[in-house]
Structure 1
Amino acid sequence: MRKANLFQVFSVVLICTAVESALTRSKIKLQNNGYTGIVIAINEDIAEDVAIVNNLQEIFTNASRILHRATKKRAFFKDITILLPETWGDSLTSESASGETFDTANIIVDKPNGLWGDDPYTNQLGSCGEEGEYIHLTANFLGDKDWAWKTFGDPARVLVHEWGHYRWGLFDEYSTGDDNHFYLNDKGHVAVTKCSSHVAGNALDVRNGKECNKNPEAGILPDKYCRYYPDLQKNQATSFTETVVDFCHTDPNGDPRSFHNAMAPNPQNIHCKYKSAWRSYWKAGK
């Protein structure tokens, strides 16, 4: 029997009412494998744009399918409420808010962040396994699908990546700062900080685009200007953000294209004591 609504995000668009908030985030529950109680709120400073609402629904519906596959059918998005500013027209709404506010939303749509710009990010202050504060998306990311695809890849897969940060307390499996883009592996060769090792790409100098790390077996780490750029066309890794169908795991019988790289000095290994993303998610159990 076909499950017609398994991946359908049930979006209720509401008017966001300005009320005093205790800053307690809306409670999300996992019931019968479906996440319910998710609240998305749009900042009152964002200009009215029906594309933002339509794209939110499309992205979450697509992300639900991806999440279901990546969690081995253990989770999907089921019930989501979208809060609109009072300044937006009534044509997009179905009812008034009943206590939900921007300050208590799980996901916010706001202006670009001074540090992150239009990059989607999770305000993550806790340690491994602890939930984040909220996911931050921008109107540019949601309003212009073509630009978002060209800049970040599939927005639905980006959302699943951020959900791992927010809900399960996962950390990035690539280097996020100026350090640790490369390391010496157990053979003394220069290796790239990535998970899994099947993430294809090229090491290039950020100043001129020329190849760097030409002789990894020499055991000499590249200078600070060398970065690894994934090749979106040739990637085979099933754990890479753009091609994710699995979280990195440590199952010797699992898909080798998403096998966890425990040696890489990335935030996931550093904060989670070298546990894979899948093991951290399984431990979280939420």
Structure 2
Amino acid sequence: MKEQVKDGQLLNILCLFVMVGLRVEAVDFKDQGYHLFVAINKDVPENIGIISELQSMLTSASDYLYTATRKYTYIRRVTILVPATWTRDPAWELEGEMIFTRADIRVDEPHPAMGNSPYVFQPGQCGDPGRYIHLTSDFVLDNQIDRQINYGDAGRVLVHEFAHLRYGVFGEYGVRDSLQHPVYYIDDNSTILRPTACSAEVVGVFHDVVNGGDCATGDTSTPLNENCIFLPSTTDNVATASVMYAQFLQEVTEFCESNPQDKKRKHNADAPNRQNKMCNKRGTWDVIREHLDIRGH
């Protein structure tokens, strides 16, 4: 078993290197820590606040990743690639030609379908790494995004996306208007309405966003009420999982696993989400702990 990072080490481990023109490769993992490369697209308007916000977000992400991986991994170092079109700070290092398309995290224009929501380009199968994390400058700067309300802590969001990127796990939530991955489902053994969630211990209410009040139930052969969403309770939850479902809940600090000692992080194999579909109903931690970065821990 590899030696764990000691408690408290994370307080000063995130070093920010702002460079123009560094040639980069994929995520680097060494001594239980990740070296991530972030690049800002040349079309993003110059705003030095993007750099300071990225530093804050990634520092928070490092702390949360350390907790979520059971005090094993963290973000050791970050290099930010700044467009040559920006006014250069004398403290920045200059080297070669910037290669935006090799960055792990890319700050770019909004995606036509995703808008300002962070996402990972993830074309592979279960356990296969994604290509990159996409952020927009509006999300980073929180320009009329209401980031905390709509997404929760940005560092936690980055860890959710990083798990897609590095470990090849998938979302454990439902998608509104989706027949394949509805936001809720009817339990096979009863008529109980359950949210598409992990763990099953997450509590909350089903809400009709158009008509107000409770959602009308449907059957599983047609898309369930397209106006229905599940609102997890921010005050009554005891579930500690999962990062791939509701990382914004304060209590959620772990990934779901199939055979935990504590049912508050037990994987819900019945939920019709992408993780269950793509990973043969295995929990996210079951997949992550087989990754070379984590194996043996």
Q: TM-score range by the shorter chain?
A: 0.7 to 0.9
Give 5+ residue unaligned stretches, structure 2: 1-5
Q: Shift of the alpha carbon at 1:6? A: 5.6
Q: Tell me if the contact between 1:49 and 1:143 (Cα under 8 Å) persists in the aligned partners.
A: no
Aligned to 1:266, which of 269, 273, 284? 273
Q: Shift of the alpha carbon at 1:67? A: 0.4
Output the amino acid matched with 1:10: C
Instruction: Find the aligned partners of 2:256 and 2:73 in 1 and give their Cα distance.
Output: 17
Q: Secondary structure at the match of 1:79?
A: strand
Q: Secondary structure at the match of 2:89?
A: helix
Task: Tell me the residue number matched to 1:128.
Answer: 126
Q: Shift of the alpha carbon at 1:211? A: 0.9
Give TM-score scaled by structure 2 length. Answer: 0.84
Q: Shift of the alpha carbon at 1:223? A: 2.8
Output the amino acid matched with 1:248: C
Q: Shift of the alpha carbon at 1:248? A: 0.8
**Runs of 4+ in structure 1 over 6 Å off:** none
Q: Tell me if the contact between 2:176 and 2:226 (Cα under 8 Å) persists in the aligned partners.
A: no
Q: Tell me if the contact between 2:126 and 2:279 (Cα under 8 Å) persists in the aligned partners.
A: yes
Task: Tell me the residue number matched to 1:166.
Answer: 165
Task: Tell me the residue number matched to 1:152.
Answer: 151
Task: Tell me the residue number matched to 2:198.
Answer: 195
Q: Shift of the alpha carbon at 1:27? A: 2.3
Instruction: Find the aligned partners of 2:216 and 2:141 in 1 and give their Cα distance.
Output: 39
Task: Tell me the residue number matched to 2:71.
Answer: 73
Output the amino acid matched with 2:202: V
Task: Tell me the residue number matched to 2:214.
Answer: 211
Output the amino acid matched with 2:227: Y
Task: Tell me the residue number matched to 2:3.
Answer: none
Residue correspondences, number: 275
Task: Tell me the residue number matched to 2:174.
Answer: 175
Q: Secondary structure at the match of 2:194?
A: strand
Task: Tell me the residue number matched to 1:116.
Answer: 114
The CA RMSD over aligned residues, in Å, is 2.6
Q: Shift of the alpha carbon at 1:98? A: 4.3
Output the amino acid matched with 1:142: V
Instruction: Find the aligned partners of 1:102 and 1:109 in 2 and give their Cα distance.
Output: 10
Give TM-score scaled by structure 1 length. Answer: 0.87
Task: Tell me the residue number matched to 2:253.
Answer: 245
Instruction: Find the aligned partners of 1:48 and 1:201 in 2 and give their Cα distance.
Output: 42
Q: Tell me if the contact between 2:218 and 2:224 (Cα under 8 Å) persists in the aligned partners.
A: no
Query: Are residues 66 and 8 of structure 1, via their aligned partners in 2, closer, same or farther at CA, if it must alter by over 3 Å?
Result: same
Task: Tell me the residue number matched to 2:18.
Answer: 13
Aligned to 2:80, which of 66, 69, 82? 82
Query: Are residues 125 and 181 of structure 1, via their aligned partners in 2, closer, same or farther at CA, if it must alter by over 3 Å?
Result: same
Instruction: Find the aligned partners of 2:225 and 2:217 in 1 and give their Cα distance.
Output: 12
Q: Tell me if the contact between 1:11 and 1:79 (Cα under 8 Å) persists in the aligned partners.
A: yes
Instruction: Find the aligned partners of 2:133 and 2:147 in 1 and give their Cα distance.
Output: 17
